[in-house]
Amino acid sequence: MSLLTVSDLAIGFGGIRAVDGVSFAVQEGEIVSVIGPNGAGKTTLFNMISGLYTPDQGSVELAGQQVTAMAPHRLAARGLSRTFQNLQIFPQLTVLENVMTGRHLQEKPSLFADLLSLPSSRRKTRETEATARLLLDKVGLGQAAALEAGTLSYGGLKRLEIARALAAKPRLLLLDEPAAGCNAVETEEIDALIVAVAGEGISILLVEHDMKLVMKISSHIVVLDQGCKIAEGKPAEVSRNPKVIAAYLGSEAGDDAAA
């Protein structure tokens, strides 16, 4: 049984089919990449899978269970976690608190206990803090724990988001362009991090523009263009596919510049 099965998923915005009948599956422990030119519908696809958008058609199954259009917080409880292309960090919280928030589902907060600072509440905070510090060390932000998150560098924020998503103990992690806008060194760091995470048995669905990275780490690749799946397969197969080459380079020079 696949961990994630996406069947015939489609959504339109004002007459434009942003994603049109896309199907694919992610097996347990796999790294699957979704690639495609800008505007191909990759982030829209992610937003439907993670419950932020309600698809017009099609279905999403997580571990064999129907989860189409389920509220994001319920999906999170079923083991789906994600990061965002345009960064959704909590800037006023500290770096440490950002990651601690990722443990919300494990904490199962009780308002009453928290208001009165009962031992159960303090114990949860202690345990969460310990876990969060380990994760921060893992992504190389251990030294920055006490800083306000808004003060981190761009690459640091990207890694912080991954640490926060990992804190939720996902079975499936959706990473939306984790290396976008990062310099070469930062990209290297994030590459290594993704491989390490996958090594722990967490399945990863990745949107990424860095082809070198995608080709290197993906089990298989789904290629989108203008909302449709135009190819799927192992990295080597996909990179030779004429449709993929056309979509990336444009069948006529200059087409892609507008996208």
Taking each helix axis as running N to C, give the angle between helix 154-167 and helix 184-199, from 0 to 180 degrees, rounded to the nearest 10. 10
Terminal-to-terminal C-alpha distance of the chain: 37
Select from 38, 54, 88, 143 the one that contacts another protein (CB under 8 A). Answer: 88
How far apart, in whole angstroms, are the C-alpha atoms of residue 85 and residue 91? 16
183 binds another protein (CB under 8 A): no
Select from 31, 67, 68, 82 the one that contacts another protein (CB under 8 A). Answer: 82
- Rounded to whole angstroms, the maximal C-alpha distance in the chain is 67
68 binds another protein (CB under 8 A): no
Q: Which is nearer to another protein, 19 or 49 (CB)?
A: 49
Nearest-approach distance from CB 8 to another protein, in angstroms: 24
Nearest-approach distance from CB 52 to another protein, in angstroms: 7
Tokens for 51? 């419950």
Taking each helix axis as running N to C, give the angle between helix 154-167 and helix 119-138, from 0 to 180 degrees, rounded to the nearest 10. 130
Helix H or strand E encompassing 43 = helix 42-49
Tokens for 27? 């097996």
- State the binding string over 119-158 for another protein (x if CB under 8 A, else -): --x--xx--x-------------------x----------
How far apart, in whole angstroms, are the C-alpha atoms of residue 6 and residue 60? 5
How far apart, in whole angstroms, are the C-alpha atoms of residue 162 and residue 175? 8
- State the binding string over 161-180 for another protein (x if CB under 8 A, else -): ---xx-xx------------
Residue 43 has phi, psi (to 5 degrees) of -65, -35
Select from 36, 37, 58, 102 the one that contacts another protein (CB under 8 A). Answer: 102
Select from 27, 29, 52, 209 the one that contacts another protein (CB under 8 A). Answer: 52
54 binds another protein (CB under 8 A): no
Binding residues for another protein, per CB under 8 A?
A: 50-52, 71-73, 75-77, 81-82, 84, 88-93, 97-98, 100-105, 107-111, 113-117, 121, 124-125, 128, 148, 164-165, 167-168
